Amino acid sequence: KAKPSRLCLLYQNKVLHHSLTPPVPAPLSVTVGQSVTLPCYAHIYRQKSQDAISLQWKKGQQDVLQMKSGKVTYGSEQRNRSSVSLDRIRQGDLSLTVQSVRLADEGVYSCSYELNDHPEDGDPARVTVAGHTGTCVTPLTACSFSL
């Protein structure tokens, strides 16, 4: 569990204390081959152009997806498997969908975005990937697998 930090504020000659706890990644479990959607939301005015929104998804320090000036680029690991909905972005839904999940997709993902030169971070998500389970007969003559 994350340890809380302490913030001390002085307001009108009164000391205010507040405890800050870093966000704990929300757990998401998925099986190899399935799709998973990682949530991220922002308050976006409907009149806002997609060109005014910058979005970045990372897995650890690795780039997964970036959107700047309405142009989307992808990291090499999730290319052709990761997407955001440009229509839903205008409604404030910046969620990332990863298709055909692989074991290597397991990890902590983070969303960050910028609106009107104000950077924000979404809550992180921890993706746990379950592989195939199977049994084999020894010597290796037959195997059965299930998802």
Residues contacting residue 116 through CB under 8 Å, at least 6 positions apart: 52
Q: Give the separation between CA 129 and CA 144, rounded to whole angstroms.
A: 20
Give domain 25-130's CATH superfamily: Immunoglobulins (2.60.40.10)
- The residue ranking higher by pLDDT, 89 or 48, is 89
The domain segmentation of the chain, as residue ranges, is: 25-130
At 47-69, the pLDDT tens digits run 566 677 899 999 999 999 999 98
105, 98 in Cβ contact below 8 A?
yes
Given a cut of 70, whether residue 86 has pLDDT beyond it is yes
